[in-house]
Structure 1
Amino acid sequence: MIYRSKTPLRLGLAGGGTDVSPYSDEFGGAILNATISLYAYASIEPIQENGIIIEAIDRREEQRFEWTNELPINGQLDLAKGVYNRIQKDYGLPLTGFKLSTFVDVPAGSGLGTSSTLVVAIIGAFAEMLKLPLGDYDIAHYAYDIERNDLKLAGGKQDQYAATFGGVNFMEFYAEDKVIVNPLRIKQEYLNELEHNLVLYYTQTSRESADIIKEQQKNVHAKNEKSIEAMHQLKEQSKMMKEALLKGRLHEIGEILDFGFQEKRKMAHNISNSFIDDIYESAKLAGATGGKISGAGGGGFMTFYCPNNTRYKVIDVLNNFGGVVKSYQFTHHGLTTWSVQ
């Protein structure tokens, strides 16, 4: 039997960064995001020898181990090994050899929540194999706990929940890891128009999100008023975005995104740079009414709102910067698992 899973990546549309502790613990965070048709995949299949093989197909990395209850965390394939270690500790695995294979549709560090989405996919494959009685909230929190506490990786909470639940969600974050996921019932015609007008652009650069997030966390601990006020404004942005989408006021989306772009740059010094600023301003001159950097910032994907068929002129301009415009559709489903003979 082979056990498979896939989880969608997400576009953060508003409120990004307010899901990160300690801000969310002290003030409460709010984010609006939507999952898209780019995925992380995981498969577990039996092998003849009594050992463990872990491979990241997209990264062309593979490691082999004798059977053990704990795999070494050493900077290579740590997400997969971290999930294995925790599953082994909490539930135990049968003493049979297996191969865990993963693949992600976009590069790591691109700002679409790749790491957390991959962790959810791996948990999903193990849950399918072991028939674990885990609900959506259980899986999302489990992924968060493995990343933040077991592997000591800095980051927020939205990605794990977006990957698990799927769809368009308004998420609230509070102290003691309390998260409330509110699915939004947006008319399909509004989603169609949003999908048509939002251009997803990969800058062909990646970044280490942990460094940006650590500075953001440091600013909150230090009571940096400029940084904290920016986060307050981004939380307010998520409420503005929610109302605009639910009421079909799509003409406001670009301005709401632009407002968030300006505020987000105040959270940490390396969220933007001259290259990103040049891309952003060029897109606006070509007809975009606003946009954002995906994820923590510093590189990766950017999104632009391009009303009235301006997307085509914007895409022409973006092509001059050496990146790639990526096609996508919004998805309604999160983590999906299945088994095959």
Structure 2
Amino acid sequence: MDDEILEEIHYLTGRGLQGYKQLQRAVEEGFASGASWPAQINLNNAVMTGNITTLRFLVDEVGVKTLNSDCKGYTPLQMAVVWGQVDILVYLLTRGAEPNLWMKSSVVDQARRRQTRLEASLSKAEEYPDSCNLDPQQILDLFEKGKVMLEVLEGVEAQGSYNAWAVRNRSHPLVRRFSWDLGDPEPRFRLTVLRALTLANRASLLPEREVLESCEPGEALTKALGRLGLGNRAHELQDALQAFTVPQLQQKNLTREDFDNLLRPVALLSDGEHRRLWRFVMELQEDQKPKAKTRATNGYVAKAALLALPRTKRKAAAEATIEGVPRAAFADGLQLIFHEALPDTAFVLVVSFCYGLRLSR
């Protein structure tokens, strides 16, 4: 009985969106009746027809166990190579399809053979146009898609796994599409170590933001430079930057090139002092930009961190003021996630949210 049902289901998987609704209803009825056949639905027809919507439904929602099953001599991944379904090939790799890269059935060898045949067909079509069912442009399109497919497979072969290749190629369009949640653990690890050192009083945050937050309205630039540790050069730097107050420096909107040119006449300014002053200028200019337009802005991080605090501490943080101005107006994401009042669990949650976290399926 299950074989008869599966035969009909396999037909629906290759019918695109026309068969998708029928497939959904059939699978729901199968689950409702306690049948085991939904897990045995083969993916090859959906792969062959490029029906990625059906594939996502079957793999991600139904949880079929046929991702690496052989059907009439082909696994779904091999079928993707045969039909040149580049997007589907990458999607299957992200879900655990086995490429068998070091065996006789290796899909990368299969992809290489396909490219060789297409190249031969292209030459033949150009020389004898009537001898092929496809015109040279169609064959060339298939060949170009095959190049992308082979690039991915050879990269996977070189790195040893799809995940290892994807981590090294995060900017690749197919990685961005199908592995957007592949987070790099390195920034989270570094931030965790830095937080531990900061809370243990073995490290401190850079002072530029703290100096900026403590500036009074219209404060003299020399006074701010003094708190930056540049007091002995404050008047010389003030003259070089052609600004006498912090707001005046902020309004100049200096580029790095402008900044370097203005400071070039200043003698004996160390590399560290040069970087410290430039970071302060960048903080100034960032402070006047609209906040929370993207997920990566400090304002957004600050809000996420603030919401992660216990309610009583959250209220105290929101109501705190600096010289009568609400502390929230000066909120900086780094200060909040490095604050000792933020629980470790909340810190992990916020950092994972900000830097991306690949969840196991």
TM-score by length of 1: 0.24
Query: Higher RCO, 1 or 2 (CA under 8 Å, sep at least 6)?
Result: 1
Q: TM-score, normalised by structure 2?
A: 0.23
| Larger proportion of helix | 2
Higher strand proportion: 1
